[in-house]
């Protein structure tokens, strides 16, 4: 801030009158009512018999680096075992993580040639979850239908980087250092090689159908998935 002479002045606040920002705001804008929400599992699969299979992927961020690969491996087995069924993949509220760990599932879905795949997205779909959708769309083309809301970011963005915790307020500052362009399939010297090898030109990723829903409990969620699958089957 500036003082009355137009000079920069430091603003100091007694720590006794502050509240750590992490108690008020989530590090990830996942859209849940509880800002401290964390997924109980990385993959939730339901078999709706003749309607198809639903796969909810609430997050790709796994600090343990073991739970997500195991969950993805289990999902790969289910997808391959149900290769003739319509798939509904739900990445609403998925703010990202490590999309490289999800590549086996992308491969399994892509290799099931008889499937119709529906991907559900919303304004809280970010980062690695957008990449997941982009790669699937590039591989599946018209076999993939994108339903929901416009995603939280575009297809050209900076990612990776890290977090900085501000010492007084407790606020967390996010910085990103690696260039991604999943619309045109380009990268530059800031893009890690393992990511650059996966980048594809996914195009615009326009919604095939806009469908906005509010938070739902587990039973209502199941009914919602069945409703979407029925609408796809026609």
Q: What's the pLDDT score for residue 201?
A: 97
Is 173 in the same domain as 125?
no
Q: What's the pLDDT score for residue 46?
A: 94
Higher pLDDT among residues 23 and 193, named by residue: 193
Strands 209-210 and 144-148: parallel
Q: Pick the range with the lowest mean pLDDT from 4-13, 63-72, 146-155, 203-212.
A: 4-13
Is 131 in the same domain as 231?
yes
Q: Has residue 165 been placed in a domain?
A: yes
Higher pLDDT among residues 110 and 217, named by residue: 110
CA distance 194 to 190: 12
Q: What is the pLDDT of residues 4-26, one digit of tens each?
A: 555 555 555 565 665 555 444 44
Q: What's the pLDDT score for residue 195?
A: 95
Average pLDDT over residues 147-166: 90
Dig out the tokens for 233 from the structure: 């089957």
Is 100 in the same domain as 179?
no
Q: What's the pLDDT score for residue 4?
A: 55
Alpha-carbon 168 to chain mean position: 31
Is 82 in the same domain as 69?
yes
Is 192 in the same domain as 223?
no
**DSSP classification of residue 8:** B
Instruction: Report which secondary-structure segment, H or E, holds 193.
Output: helix 193-196
Instruction: Report which secondary-structure segment, H or E, holds 159.
Output: strand 156-159
Determine phi and psi for 127, rounding to 5 degrees.
Answer: 45, -120
Q: What is the pLDDT of residues 25-72, one digit of tens each?
A: 445 677 777 777 788 899 999 999 999 999 999 999 998 889 999 999
The domain of 178 spans 156-201
Instruction: Report which secondary-structure segment, H or E, holds 138.
Output: helix 127-140
Is 146 in the same domain as 194?
no
Q: What's the pLDDT score for residue 167?
A: 86
The CATH number given to whatever domain includes residue 215 is 3.90.226.10
Of the pLDDT bands very low, low, confident and very high (cuts 50, 70, 90), residue 219 is low
The total number of structural domains in the chain stands at 2
Please determine, for residue 143, whether its predicted confidence score (pLDDT) is greater than 80: yes
* Residue-by-residue DSSP string for 14-76: -GGG---GGGTS-SS----SSTT---S-S-EEEE-GGG-EEEE---B--TTSSHHHHHHHHHH
Q: What is the pLDDT of residues 89-139, one digit of tens each?
A: 999 999 999 999 999 999 999 988 667 899 999 999 999 999 999 999 999
Is 190 in the same domain as 107?
no
Is 86 in the same domain as 134?
yes
Q: What is the dihedral of CA 70, 72, 76, 79, to 10 degrees?
A: 130
Q: Has residue 146 been placed in a domain?
A: yes
């Amino acid at each position: 801030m500036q003082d009355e002479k137009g000079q920069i002045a430091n603003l100091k606040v007694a720590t006794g009158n502050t509240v750590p920002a992490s108690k008020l705001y989530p590090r990830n804008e996942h859209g849940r009512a509880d800002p401290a929400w964390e997924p109980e599992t990385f993959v939730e699969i339901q078999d709706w018999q003749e309607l198809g299979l639903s796969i909810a992927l609430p997050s790709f961020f796994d600090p343990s680096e073991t739970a997500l690969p195991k969950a993805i491996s289990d999902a790969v087995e289910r997808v391959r075992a149900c290769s003739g069924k319509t798939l509904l993949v739900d990445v609403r509220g998925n703010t990202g993580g490590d999309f490289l760990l999800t590549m086996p599932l992308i491969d399994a879905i892509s290799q099931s040639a008889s499937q119709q795949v529906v991907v559900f997205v919303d304004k809280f779909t970010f980062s690695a979850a957008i990449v997941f959708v982009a790669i699937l769309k590039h591989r599946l083309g018209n076999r993939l239908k994108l339903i929901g809301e416009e995603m939280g970011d575009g297809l050209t963005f900076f990612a990776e980087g890290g977090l900085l915790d501000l010492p007084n307020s407790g606020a967390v500052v996010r910085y990103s250092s690696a260039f991604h362009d999943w619309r045109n399939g380009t990268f530059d010297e800031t893009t890690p090689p393992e990511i650059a090898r996966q980048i594809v030109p996914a195009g615009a990723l326009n919604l095939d159908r806009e469908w906005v829903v509010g938070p739902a409990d587990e039973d209502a969620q199941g009914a919602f998935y069945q409703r979407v699958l029925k609408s796809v089957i026609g």
